[in-house]
């Protein structure tokens, strides 16, 4: 992947980042990512779906001068974090193992949590309500995704609610 600073800045501004602060020296920098296969398991319970994604850590190569934590901070800001939240959280992440884990755009709330002795990120947001088949409006629902890495593996667990249940589920994953 080759970085085009003007395009990255355009996307950042389009999603509400008013000061993207992307170094001009990054223009044209090539980031190589080798992503291993991802295993997905879906668990359906009543009207709820839970989805677990698991993969080995990706192999990431960046040229000298491109700081993955700084790029990650920009990515976090594009998901809805404030500049300060993104800067503080980015310092706690191993960007070489977290780069490929999906984080919902305009995530809502972000909390650092512990999963099996490892740091994780719990993102909770209100899903936009959808109308039923007969056009009757429905109320929005809370949805959360929990992201963490452990022993060379990366995980994402998505489910309904404000994260309590998926955090409990994640604690049982070995």
Question: In the prediction, which pLDDT does 132 show?
Answer: 62
- Residue 148 inside a domain? The answer is yes
Q: What is the span of the domain harbouring residue 86?
A: 34-171
Q: Are 71 and 93 in contact (CB under 8 A)?
A: no
Q: Which of 2-6, 78-82, 127-131 has the lowest mean pLDDT?
A: 127-131
Torsion from C-alpha of 45, 171, 36, 4, nearest 10 degrees:
90
Total structural domains in the chain? 1
Cβ neighbours of residue 85 closer than 8 Å, sequence gap 6 or more? 76, 110
The pTM of the full predicted model, rounded to 2 decimals, is 0.71
Which of 145, 142, 139, 141 has the alpha carbon at shortest distance from 166?
Answer: 145
Question: In the prediction, which pLDDT does 146 show?
Answer: 92
- Residue 98 inside a domain? The answer is yes
CATH number of residue 128's parent domain = 2.60.120
Q: Average the pLDDT over 28-56 and give the result.
A: 92
Q: Average the pLDDT over 75-96 and give the result.
A: 79
Q: Decide which of 14 and 58 is more confident.
A: 14
Torsion from C-alpha of 97, 102, 107, 113, nearest 10 degrees:
-40
Q: What is the CA radius of gyration of the chain?
A: 17
Q: Decide which of 58 and 144 is more confident.
A: 144
CA distance 113 to 122: 7
- Residue 3 inside a domain? The answer is no
């Amino acid at each position: 992947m080759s970085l085009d600073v003007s395009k990255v800045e355009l996307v950042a501004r389009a999603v509400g980042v008013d000061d993207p602060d992307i170094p001009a020296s990054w223009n044209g920098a090539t980031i190589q990512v080798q992503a291993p296969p991802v295993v997905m398991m879906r668990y359906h319970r009543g009207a709820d779906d839970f989805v677990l994604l698991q993969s080995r850590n990706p192999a990431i190569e960046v040229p000298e001068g491109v700081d993955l934590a700084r790029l990650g901070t920009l990515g976090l800001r594009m998901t809805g974090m404030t500049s300060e939240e993104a800067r503080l959280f980015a310092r706690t992440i191993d960007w070489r193992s977290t780069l490929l884990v999906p984080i919902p755009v305009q995530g809502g709330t972000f909390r650092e949590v512990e999963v099996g002795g490892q740091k994780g990120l719990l993102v909770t947001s209100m899903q936009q309500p959808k109308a039923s088949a007969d056009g009757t409006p429905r109320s929005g629902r809370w949805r959360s995704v929990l992201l963490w890495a452990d022993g060379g593996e990366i995980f994402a667990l998505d489910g309904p609610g404000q994260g309590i249940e998926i955090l409990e589920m994640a604690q049982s994953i070995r």
